[in-house]
Amino acid sequence: MKTVIYSTTSKDIEKAAEIISRGGLVAFPTETVYGLGADAMNSKAVADVYKAKGRPSDNPMIVHVSDSSDLDKLTGSITNDMKRLMDELWPGPLTMVVPKGESVPMRTTGGLDTVAVRMPANEVALKLIAMSGCPIAAPSANLSGKPSPTRADDVIADMDGRIQGIIRGEDCKVGIESTVVDMTGETPVILRPGIITAQKIEAVLGKKVIYDSALFKKAEDEGFKPRSPGMKYKHYAPEADMVIVSGQRTNVESEIERIREDKEREGLKVGVILFEENGFDEAAHDLFADLRDMDKAGVDLIIAGALDTDDQWGFAVMNRMVRSAGYNIVKV
């Protein structure tokens, strides 16, 4: 399949929108990571997204809207809490899991009776959705298992020849995926942490928000049953082996140097990811891009310094980093 690269002019977005409304696939920028979009109401198009990504079909998609009123088509019940979050935090990196409306195909929700919805804070994405005339189902635009793409070139590397179009937009501002919060019960539950923190949601709703307990477990731990199906798959993995060094900063720095020297002596090419202390937004912005750059550079081993998980953004970035490293963590 020939993949057409589109610019962000209105004319080009219009062409990309036409592909989506005809059942085709187009990758597009959002503020978090690039998405791989299809008409959310078209089962066949959604099936093609799973194929293009090599994604297990029980992993549901996030449905992207350009206006809160689009939600009427997607869910039968909009609560006051949902309304408040939409008013305060949309457009933005917050995905809400809500009861699924009848017209949403089961393919889109991976067979669940809930649907994940979000309004991205990116002009190109919003125009594309509006011009397509349908809500857009979009997982991250990477091959399944790989780090999410935060730059158009990363999308091209994974998706060229597999989809009809890619909109070449700017680099994603946030760099990690949206916060996913389950709004189907009385108490909101965070299924995937992001830069919209539990505190932020609590402040808007004036009530307690909890975390899915699976966020604190490893995939091989007993009782690991994430409520967000995507959390159970191998994820964000670079080609290189990866190890995380965790502990007090000075110890982490010297351990990283020790491992580096050791491995370089063995003839391995080593890459180091060590973000500034408290530089959580930079860490979110750079993590996936750094992993991909190291693979491009042919690095054999990536050594990364752990972030402080007491910080909510640090917690969100570490949620990805530990998966990238396959839970390979050295404590010092």
Residue 48 near ligand TXA by CB under 6 A: no
Which of ligand TXA, Mg ion, none has residue 191 at its interface (CB below 5 to 8 Å by kind)? ligand TXA
Which of Mg ion, ligand TXA, none has residue 229 at its interface (CB below 5 to 8 Å by kind)? ligand TXA
Indicate the angle between helix axes 80-89 and 198-205, nearest 10 degrees.
120
In whole angstroms, the minimum distance from the beta carbon of 148 to Mg ion comes to: 5
Q: Which of residues 96-155 bind ligand TXA (CB under 6 A)?
A: 97, 109, 112, 114-116, 118, 120, 138-140
Reduced 3-state DSSP string for 196-259 = CCHHHHHHHHCCCCEECHHHHCCCCCCCCCCCCHHHHCCCCCCCCEEEEEECCHHHHHHHHHHH
Choose one: 4-12, 29-37, 197-205, 310-318; the region binding ligand TXA (CB under 6 A): 29-37
Strand partners, 180: 95, 192
First CA to last CA across the chain, in angstroms?
A: 49
Dist CA 46 CA 25 (whole Å): 9
User: Which residues fall within 8 angstroms of residue 151, CB to CB, at 6 or more apart?
Assistant: 34, 171, 172, 289
- Cβ-based nearer residue to ligand TXA, 174 or 302: 174
- Cβ-based nearer residue to ligand TXA, 35 or 188: 35
Residue 285 near ligand TXA by CB under 6 A: no
| Residues near Mg ion (CB under 5 A) | 140
Q: Are 228 and 275 in contact (CB under 8 A)?
A: no
Which of Mg ion, ligand TXA, none has residue 244 at its interface (CB below 5 to 8 Å by kind)? none
Residue 180 near ligand TXA by CB under 6 A: yes
Residue 246 near ligand TXA by CB under 6 A: no
- Cβ-based nearer residue to ligand TXA, 191 or 283: 191
Tokens found for residue 2: 């020939």
Reduced 3-state DSSP string for 48-75 = HHHHHHCCCCCCCCEEECCCHHHHHHHC
Residue 140 DSSP code: B
Q: Kindly state the number of chain residues that form the binding site for ligand TXA, as judged by CB under 6 A.
A: 31
Which of ligand TXA, Mg ion, none has residue 116 at its interface (CB below 5 to 8 Å by kind)? ligand TXA
Among 70, 154, 177, 212, binds ligand TXA (CB under 6 A): 177
Dist CA 244 CA 164 (whole Å): 38
Residue 30 near ligand TXA by CB under 6 A: yes
Dist CA 96 CA 98 (whole Å): 6
Dist CA 327 CA 237 (whole Å): 11
In the numeric block, the tokens 């790989």 are attached to: 146
Residue 35 near ligand TXA by CB under 6 A: yes
In whole angstroms, the minimum distance from the beta carbon of 74 to ligand TXA comes to: 11
Dist CA 3 CA 152 (whole Å): 13
From the list 107, 104, 130, 108, the residue with the least C-alpha distance to 119 is 130
With CB atoms as reference, the residue minimizing the distance to ligand TXA is 230
In whole angstroms, the minimum distance from the beta carbon of 155 to ligand TXA comes to: 11
- Cβ-based nearer residue to ligand TXA, 230 or 271: 230
In whole angstroms, the minimum distance from the beta carbon of 277 to Mg ion comes to: 28
Residue 47 near ligand TXA by CB under 6 A: no
- Cβ-based nearer residue to ligand TXA, 110 or 271: 110
Contacting residues toward ligand TXA, per CB under 6 A: 30, 32-33, 35, 59-62, 93, 95, 97, 109, 112, 114-116, 118, 120, 138-140, 177-178, 180, 191-192, 227-231
